[in-house]
Chains A and B, each alone.
Chain A
Amino acid sequence: DAGITQSPRHKVTETGTPVTLRCHQTENHRYMYWYRQDPGHGLRLIHYSYGVKDTDKGEVSDGYSVSRSKTEDFLLTLESATSSQTSVYFCAISEWDRGNGYTFGSGTRLTVV
């Protein structure tokens, strides 16, 4: 497909449990991003990466951590899931950090009960 896959596609988890979402790309792009999508808020940036082991916070990073040990994988971890983290999570990749050329994954729908 678009060279970017997210897993799992759907997940239901209990409050207080750790959760890890995976983004995998085959495009060898340098930049990777995690967004969350909520009604009325559009897409909000959680964390991003500009290279292996190089990551930084976005506008809604509290409660989330990320890791990038390989170019192709960008992991998003909710250390202790809360109901406010129920959302659809999108990963995006880009060859440049100028805003253009974003390709989004298919999304992960996470429900915290």
Chain B
Amino acid sequence: GENVEQHPSTLSVQEGDSAVIKCTYSDSASNYFPWYKQELGKRPQLIIDIRSNVGEKKDQRIAVTLNKTAKHFSLHITETQPEDSAVYFCAATGGKLTFGQGTILTVHP
């Protein structure tokens, strides 16, 4: 089955800096790669996703890049704000989602 590795496990940045979270996956058949944000005590919520026929996708301050050859994808957050502080999960699938271990992002004012 699919295996997803996510790094780093924790990330601390100053407000206004950029943050990058990286994931690798094992199953070359995976074709859908979503990113979820989970605030403390809340449910995971989709923030951006990308399909395997696209190399990059951007939505305001967040972007995701995908390298199918290397089987890795990344989340980029620019101009970080304190409200970006949360746990971020990557996932990969050709069917049922397999999640990475999560990254705790802390943005210091």
Contact = CB atoms under 8 A, between A and B. Distances in A.
A42 B89 contact: yes
A109 to B, nearest CB: 9
Contact of B32 (A2, A43, A98, A106): A98
A97 to B, nearest CB: 5
Interface residues on B, range: 20 to 34
Given A40-B9, A42-B89, A97 B43 contact: no
Contacts of A104: 43-45
Interface in B52-109: 89, 91, 93-102
Interface string A34-48: 010000111111001
Given A41-B101, A102-B46, A105-B43, A97 B89 contact: no
A62 interface: no
B27 to A, nearest CB: 12
Contacts of B44: 43, 90, 104
Contacts of A105: 43
Interface of B: 1, 4, 6, 9, 32, 34, 42-46, 49, 89, 91, 93-102
22 contacts: A2-B43, A33-B96, A40-B9, A42-B4, A42-B6, A42-B100, A43-B44, A43-B99, A45-B97, A59-B1, A59-B98, A90-B44, A98-B93, A98-B94, A98-B95, A99-B95, A99-B96, A100-B32, A100-B49, A102-B46, A102-B97, A107-B43
Interface of A: 2, 33, 35, 40-45, 48, 58-59, 90, 97-100, 102, 104-107
